[in-house]
Amino acid sequence: MTAAAAASGHTTVLLAEAVDALVTREDGIYVDGTFGRGGHARAVLARLSARGRLVAFDRDPQAVAAAASIADPRFAICHASFAEMRAELAALGVERVDGVLLDLGVSSPQIDTPERGFSFRFEAPLDMRMDTSRGETAADFIARADERLLTQVIRDYGEERFAFQIAKALVARREGGDPVRTTGQLSALVARAVKTREPGQDPATRTFQAFRIFVNAELEALEQGLKAALEVLAPQGRLVVIAFHSLEDRIVKTFIQRESRDEVDRRAPFAPPRPLRLAALARVKPGPAEIAANPRARSAVMRVAERSEVPA
C-alpha cells in the first residue's frame, strides 16, 4: 500500500494485476476512470516514461481535491463521470488512448466518511451521492417515490427479495409524518422488514446498495462508459474493469462478449459481418492473501479485453 493510500484508509484492490494488464506501452496515454484516492493512478504513473500521460476522472469533489496532491505534468484530473470520457478527452486534445481502467463501485473513503451517508455503520444524513455538488439525495428520493418505484429500485438494484416489504414500510412511515432521513433510520426499518439474511451480512446491505446505485445512476453510467472506452481505445489498447457485485460484472461481461464476436446486420444479411472490436483476455479474482488483508476485495472481479486492429 502506498503512503497516500495508507493515509486515506483506502487499500487499492488488484493493484498490481490491474496495472500489469493496463500498461502495455510506457509512453502511452491512459485513462483512470475512477481516481478515488489515486492508488491505481500513482502506480500507472510509476510505469510511464516522461512521454507517457494519464487522464483521470472522478465525480466526487473530494477525490478531485485529493488528486491535487499529484504534482506531475503527465497527469490531469477531470471532475466528471467516466461516461463523459470521450468529450472530456477531446477537450484535452486526446482522440485515442492505450488503455482505460474502471474500478467500479463506492470507495473506502466514501464508505468511511459518515456524513456521505453510504454506510449503515454510522448515523448520518442519508445522502449517498458520489457527486455532492449536484443531484438528488437518497433521502429526497425516498421522500417522493411511490411504493411501486421503491419496490422496483430495491429489488432490481439490491437484488433484495423483501423489496416489497421494505418499500411498504418506507411509505407507511412517510405517511405517518416521519419519513426516513438518516442512515440509522433506514437501517432500523430494513432490519424490522427483512426476516432472514445470509450469515454475516447486515440486513440493510442490499437496500443501501440499491439506493446508492439508483441515486448515482451507476449502471447507466457503466454502460455509457464502456461504450465510450471502446470508442477512444487505440488498436491493441486495453480495457480493464474491476467490478464488486453481480449487476456490474454482468454488464461488463455481456459488453465484452458482444463486442468479441462477429455480428451480422440482419437488415443486410449478405453484407460482410461487422468485425469483432474486442478480444477478451482474462478474468481475475483477488488471491487469498489479498482477501485476508483487505476483506472488501473478496467480491472483486477484474475483466480484461483488448481493442482489435480494426478502427472504430
- Name the residue ranges covered by the structural domains of the chain: 3-109+218-307, 132-215
pLDDT for the residue numbered 310: 57
Instruction: Evaluate whether 102 touches 225 at the Cβ level (below 8 Å).
Output: yes
User: What CATH number has the domain spanning 132-215?
Assistant: 1.10.150.170
Low-confidence ranges of the chain (pLDDT < 50): 1-8, 311-312
The phi and psi torsions of 66 (rounded to 5 degrees) equal: -65, -30
- The total of other beta-carbon atoms located within 10 Å of residue 132's CB is 16
- For residue 293, what pLDDT is reported? 93
Q: Give residue 39's pLDDT.
A: 94
**β-pairing, 301-307 with 233-243?**
antiparallel
38: region left, alpha or beta (phi > 0 left; psi from -120 to 50 alpha): left
- What's the confidence (pLDDT) of residue 199? 77
All three cell numbers of 102: 474502471
pLDDT at 312: 43
For 177-235, what is the HEC assignment?
A: CCCCCEHHHHHHHHHHHCCCCCCCCCCCHHHHHHHHHHHCCHHHHHHHHHHHHHHHEEE
Task: Report pLDDT for 274.
Answer: 62
Give the pLDDT score at 38.
95
In this prediction, residue 4 carries a pLDDT of 39
- The pLDDT value recorded for residue 112 is 81
Give the pLDDT score at 271: 58
Cβ partners under 8 Å of residue 32, min gap 6: 40, 41, 44, 54, 55, 56, 57, 101, 103
* H or E element at residue 97: strand 97-103
193 CA to centre of own chain: 29
Long-range contacts of 43-50 (CB under 8 A, 24+ apart): 43/2, 43/12, 43/15, 43/16, 43/19, 44/19, 44/101, 45/70, 45/72, 45/74, 45/75, 47/19, 47/23, 48/23, 48/74, 50/74
Q: What is the pLDDT of residue 254?
A: 97
Q: How far apart are CA 254 and CA 260, in angstroms?
A: 10
**What pLDDT does 42 receive?**
97
- CATH for 3-109+218-307, options being 3.40.50.150, 3.40.50.2000, 3.40.50.2300, 3.90.1170.50: 3.40.50.150
Longest dimension (CA), the chain: 64
